[in-house]
């Protein structure tokens, strides 16, 4: 990745302009043209570096509840159970991890009842009973920004 692309990636993560012409603002900062910024961002999206540009919301402030769960699944059933979990629209993250609790997922819903029902669904449909529920008691930091170094 060239220097300009890295500079753009750093800028648009941390200080994306809330201005009528955001790409022009970025361009002026980097001493390039607005069109060059737009082309570079389109290219970075096409290449899969940028997932999305927009707002990242605090689910609890929107009245939603989030829950981290960890399921203990027999090795030979991981894919099948993970697929069932991923198919639920409120599941945003789902990973296999190296632990006896080997499937880790986050579910966000409008109510705790809906989450309870979903966990019950997993148990009924897959027979997996051992699921840890690990709600955040305190949040000390959330800042997933990746500094691109030259």
- Within residues 88-117, the interface with other proteins by CB under 8 A covers 89-99, 101, 103-105, 108
Virtual torsion, Cα 34, 143, 47, 89, nearest 10 deg: -120
Binding of residue 145 to other proteins (CB under 8 A): yes
Q: Do residues 44 and 50 touch, judged by C-beta distance below 8 A?
A: yes
Which of residues 22, 32, 65, 77 is near other proteins by CB under 8 A? Answer: 22
Distance CA 111, CA 11 (A): 36
Which of residues 4, 32, 34, 77 is near other proteins by CB under 8 A? Answer: 34
Name the 3-class secondary structure at 79: helix
Distance CA 35, CA 25 (A): 12
Nearer to other proteins, 96 or 120 (CB): 96
Q: Do residues 104 and 69 touch, judged by C-beta distance below 8 A?
A: yes
Nearer to other proteins, 94 or 118 (CB): 94
Nearer to other proteins, 54 or 127 (CB): 54
What six digits make up the tokens of 58? 């605090």
Binding of residue 46 to other proteins (CB under 8 A): no
Question: Nearest distance from residue 98's CB to other proteins, in Å?
Answer: 6
Question: Nearest distance from residue 120's CB to other proteins, in Å?
Answer: 19
Which of residues 33, 58, 111, 120 is near other proteins by CB under 8 A? Answer: 58
**DSSP class of residue 48?**
T
């Amino acid at each position: 990745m060239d220097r300009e692309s890295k500079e753009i990636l750093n800028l648009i993560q941390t200080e994306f302009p809330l201005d009528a012409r955001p790409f022009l603002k970025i361009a002026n900062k980097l001493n390039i043209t607005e069109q060059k910024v737009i082309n570079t961002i389109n290219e970075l999206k096409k290449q899969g570096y940028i997932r999305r540009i927009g707002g990242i919301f605090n689910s609890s402030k929107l009245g939603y509840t989030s829950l981290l769960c960890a399921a203990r699944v027999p090795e030979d059933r991981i894919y099948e159970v993970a697929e069932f979990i991923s198919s639920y629209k409120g599941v945003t993250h789902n990973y296999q991890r190296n632990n006896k609790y080997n499937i880790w997922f986050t579910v966000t819903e409008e109510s705790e009842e809906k989450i309870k029902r979903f966990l019950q669904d997993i148990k009924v449909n897959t027979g997996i009973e051992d699921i840890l529920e690990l709600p955040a008691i305190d949040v000390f930091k959330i800042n997933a920004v990746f500094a691109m170094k030259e």
